[in-house]
Structure 1
Amino acid sequence: MRKTIVRVLVVLTVLAVGLGVVTVAGNDFRFTRREVTFGGPQGSLVGVLTEPRGGDARGLVVMVHGDGPVEATQGGLYSPWFEAAADAGFATLSWSKPGVGRSAGDWLDQSMADRAAEVDAALDWAHAQDDVPTGTVVLWAASQGGWVFPRVVADRDDVAGVVAVGTAVDWLRQGRFHLLAGLDDQGADDDERARAVAESDRVRDLLERGASYDEYATTTPEADRMTRDRWGFVLRNVHADATEGLRAMAPRGVPVHLMAGEHDRNVDVAETERVYRDLLGDHVTVSTFDAVHSLARPVVEDVDVVGAVTAVVRPRALLAPGVLDDYRSALASMGRRGW
């Protein structure tokens, strides 16, 4: 009851404050934006290029999305990241995943190697444009992007740095961590935990032996069932492990800045930090925030109304305190290395 009352009070406070500041804070971000189109492995990809007002960018951030049907701007949620990059003197290139919006293809038909090839195509396109600043290239990789960026960095010599946001190392371990963290958050008892783990083990066994979707579907309740396309995507990527790619990129000495949320229930960020430090050594820096997986404030994820109101009224406030300042600082540091 006490927790519910506190949440209601928080909602009312956000609504009251938000309505008072909307005309002051608004969504007037400090960047310009234009649509871009380039060829990807599955066809034409449509995205955006944001730049500092005045057009004096000296470097480029390339967004490597996490899981799901991500649109180029994440419905506007990427705007604070675009703005922080612009403040640091960087343009940002982001595109809708294949099959999202007007981008051709199907993101569920991709492996992590396919996703890396897509980033390669974006980088090649950027270098071929006279009006895209590629003096310093930084990859911004979120969540699932942690299985993508090591492949790109290992195979190219034009990436000056990586900002990794809540990235994972091993697909199966990440899935188990997510399951257990979710059960903890729900206050599951021992019996509920045992049933959930047993079901997870059953599905993992099917994935390990490459079972057909029909076999999976006939033994899984409809409410818990993946779609056929999602099953294929997971089958294709279930053995994803960033370790080999990180080891391959290590000799290049590219700085990696890991940004992690203390309340991340999706990824074991402590494991990610440990593996990054073991394989990349002094080239890794880490910042931790009072935040969830997306680096948003915990209340934004825990109380839907707060997230919805904040996104409209003060979108910069979605992210935990210090996140955007830290991002700007990381880009500035990588920029000094590259320029």
Structure 2
Amino acid sequence: MKKCFKSIWFYLGLLTLIVVIIISRSQYSDFELDDHALTIIPISFTSKTDTLSGTLVLPNQNKIKAVAIFIHGDGAQDRFANSGYLPLINSLVDAGIGVYTWDKPGMGESQGNWLHQSMQDRADEAQIALQVIQKKFTQPNIKVGYLGFSQAGWVIPIVATQSNPDFSVIIGGAVNWRDQGAYYHQVRLKADNIDDNEIIRRVSEQLQQNDRVFGINGSHDISAQEDMSDDRFHFVIQNYLSDSSKNLPHMNGRVLAMFGELDLNVDALKNACLYRTLLGNHVDKTVILFPNASHGLLKAPFFNYQLDNQWPWWKQVLFIYQGRDSYSPDALNYLTAWITEEMTTFSDYIDFECKNSNTNIR
């Protein structure tokens, strides 16, 4: 019996030692905001009738080179995306780039309901945030702009046409809402090992059904909502026809579009090529495609999922363990160097081939 207890204590001690070693070697600090090394300022603003609550995170005052205003993707996001943004925020701050981010309407401490918003509503909200931050940083050497994810690809082109940010960064953006939905559905069916011809049939059938309900002259018949909530159904009605092609050529300021080659949510190559065409051949408009990267520019072999709730628990632990190292190699270095205009050579990511990049799903 004594030997049994000794054995239990031995293994408990060994397990504790392993946990301590893992924590000591992990990037757990990437998921914390150090009050001593950073300046953290709560800032709220009003959009329409809603008060939206956010946080401005800054490096030491004498090290600020730029401020990035975060524009969320789809979903119920608080200001730090349930801490998922923190490795990225810490990387930006370490490079001298402040971040302003707020809870979406109805999330965290913000009023309203994000599902009641059109992309123009979101752009109006982003423009107010830009004005608030620009008023705080009037020094010409501190650049203020947007950094957004996924659905922000329909928001930022609007607001960067209607306002004057110094820069805009779009990560994993799609040009056309309808086409993106078709690609997303296609990937899901492929993951279920559906035959290619059957995938084409099902995607085409779903597109036709969506067009009848949400398209031009669509019925907007709520009986067709299937598993959508009423709010989500009306959100799609407002935004199904979103297409950034009319705004992308007219965006003010420098523009960077970043795509992960193995994106499961957006057809990365097709949209990267569309961005390259629509932005034009300008030195301040850049489109890059990172190999082996996911929708959010994470390392695809480890973190490539369409939805956050698809991550198994051990992948969540791995993400916490790796922190900023979970991102595709050079992705964060490229992002921070581009914003601060301290670029080195990354030609491998810029020089991608667009021939035959269109999908066969319409």
**Aligned position for 1:207:** 214
1:77 pairs with 2:80: no
**Aligned position for 1:264:** 263
Q: Give 1:270's aligned amino acid.
A: L
3-state SS of 2:44 partner: strand
Residue 166 of structure 2 is aligned with which of 160, 165, 176?
160
Q: Which residues in structure 2 correspond to 1:270-285 (within 5 Å)?
A: 270-281=269-280, 282=282, 283-285=284-286
The total of aligned residue pairs comes to 310
Give the alignment's TM-score, normalised by structure 1: 0.83
Q: Distance in 1 between matches of 2:140 and 2:313?
A: 39
**Distance 1:286-1:247 versus aligned 2 partners, 3 A rule:** closer
**Distance 1:277-1:214 versus aligned 2 partners, 3 A rule:** closer
Deviation at 1:180, TM superposition (A): 1.1
Deviation at 1:134, TM superposition (A): 8.4
Structure 1 unaligned residues grouped into runs of 5+: 1-15
- Preserved CA contact (<8 Å) 2:134 2:144: no
Deviation at 1:199, TM superposition (A): 3.5
Provide Cα deviations, 1:72-112, integer angstroms capped at 9, x if missing partner. Answer: 00111111221222122211000110011110111100011
Residue 152 of structure 2 is aligned with which of 145, 159, 175?
145
* Greater helix fraction, Structure 1 or Structure 2: 1
Q: Distance in 1 between matches of 2:19 and 2:286?
A: 35
Q: Distance in 1 between matches of 2:207 and 2:340?
A: 43
**Aligned position for 1:300:** 303
**Distance 1:37-1:300 versus aligned 2 partners, 3 A rule:** same
Deviation at 1:113, TM superposition (A): 0.6
Q: Which has the higher contact order (CA 8 A, sep 6+)?
A: 1
Larger Rg, first or second structure (1 or 2):
2
3-state SS of 2:209 partner: helix
3-state SS of 1:37 partner: strand
Give the alignment's TM-score, normalised by structure 2: 0.78
Structure 2 unaligned residues grouped into runs of 5+: 1-16, 31-36, 306-310, 344-362
**Aligned position for 1:286:** 287
1:322 pairs with 2:330: yes
Q: Give 2:274's aligned amino acid.
A: V
Q: Give 1:313's aligned amino acid.
A: Y
Identity %: 28
Q: Distance in 2 between matches of 1:226 and 1:155?
A: 32
Q: Distance in 2 between matches of 1:276 and 1:130?
A: 30
Q: Give 2:43's aligned amino acid.
A: V
Q: Which residues in structure 2 correspond to 1:1-339 (within 5 Å)?
A: 20-29=21-30, 31-53=38-60, 56-129=63-136, 135-157=142-164, 159-190=165-196, 192-193=198-199, 194-195=201-202, 197-208=204-215, 209-217=217-225, 220=226, 225-249=227-251, 252=252, 254-281=253-280, 282=282, 283-289=284-290, 290-298=292-300, 299-301=302-304, 304-333=312-341
Q: Distance in 1 between matches of 2:342 and 2:122?
A: 24
**Distance 1:130-1:180 versus aligned 2 partners, 3 A rule:** closer
Q: Distance in 1 between matches of 2:25 and 2:138?
A: 33
**Distance 1:85-1:26 versus aligned 2 partners, 3 A rule:** closer
**Distance 1:280-1:192 versus aligned 2 partners, 3 A rule:** closer
- Preserved CA contact (<8 Å) 2:182 2:203: no
